[in-house]
């Protein structure tokens, strides 16, 4: 099982990238599970017709110890297994702690043993890498970390912090930073800026995703680009990204 964590600053296109990665891998014949680890619980929307699915924390609040896998799992486009950790009641509780609770419930219910995914993708908010937000990399859930960034200052700042966090956990054998996924925003000298960032954090750019209005068109349909516009150049870019991600991860378990 290849275990991947996709980190990035909020609003950088991380969930869009993760969902298109999941769809492209599914097309290649892999059984894919995508786990949203953002309190907004919108990671899997483009795999599920644009709708928000029941989160693990919502199910726990409603059913307590009677929660089953059927309550927290939705099978989306391409057969992608979709799970959203969810967040605490607004104004009450800690979002990071909520992710920890959700992961513990998934493990207790045997989600991986039941669905046998070939690839698990964790979509994680990367503005802060502490507590529950570090759960995928600090507890061995994900060995391969990719950072989504643009050439914008705050996106690169967040990417740098994520790289530092991953490096701290690397010594314990938990996870490795595998590379950068550049989601272009047409910033001046964008590629050069992100190439310098890659050098600074001793990493490399794995994929360059061009800015394309077709992404928003697909999202308005509640779809990934790969599903909505399979013959488009943007879909081809996501498929190429998926191949490169697999090459970098290899057969890492």
Q: Tokens 């644009």 — which residue?
A: 50
What residues have CB less than 8 Å from 42, skipping those under 6 apart? 15, 36, 52
Q: Name the 3-class secondary structure at 12.
A: coil
Buried b (16+ CB within 10 A) or exposed e, 146-184: bbbbbbbeebbebbebbbebbeebeeeebbbbbbbbbbb
Give the whole-angstrom CA distance, residue 166 versus residue 186.
28
Cβ-contact 43, 17 below 8 angstroms:
no
Give the whole-angstrom CA distance, residue 222 versus residue 44.
10
As annotated, the active-site residues are 9, 14, 40, 127
Cβ-contact 116, 70 below 8 angstroms:
no
Give the whole-angstrom CA distance, residue 91 versus residue 79.
35
């Amino acid at each position: 099982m290849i275990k991947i964590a996709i980190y990035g600053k909020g609003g950088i296109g991380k969930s869009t990238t993760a969902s298109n990665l999941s769809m492209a891998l599914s097309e290649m014949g892999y059984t894919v599970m995508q786990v949203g680890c953002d309190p907004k619980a919108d990671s899997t929307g483009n795999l599920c017709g644009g709708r928000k699915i029941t989160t693990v924390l919502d199910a726990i609040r409603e059913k307590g110890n009677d929660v089953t896998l059927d309550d927290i799992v939705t099978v989306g486009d391409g057969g992608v297994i979709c799970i959203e950790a969810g967040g605490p009641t607004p104004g009450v509780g800690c979002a990071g702690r909520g992710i920890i609770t959700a992961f513990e419930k998934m493990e207790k219910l045997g989600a991986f043993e039941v669905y046998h995914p070939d690839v698990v993708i964790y979509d994680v908010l990367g503005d802060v890498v502490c507590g529950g937000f570090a759960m995928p990399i600090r507890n061995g859930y994900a060995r391969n970390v990719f950072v989504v960034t643009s050439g914008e200052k705050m996106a690169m700042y967040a990417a740098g912090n994520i790289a530092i966090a991953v490096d701290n956990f690397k010594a314990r054998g938990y996870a490795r930073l595998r590379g950068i996924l550049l989601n272009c925003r047409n910033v001046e000298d964008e590629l050069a800026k992100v190439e310098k960032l890659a050098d600074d954090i001793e990493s490399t750019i794995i994929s360059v995703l061009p800015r394309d209005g077709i992404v928003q068109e697909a999202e308005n349909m509640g779809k990934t680009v790969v599903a909505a516009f399979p013959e488009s150049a943007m879909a081809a870019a996501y498929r190429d990204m998926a191949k490169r991600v697999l090459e970098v991860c290899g057969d890492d378990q």
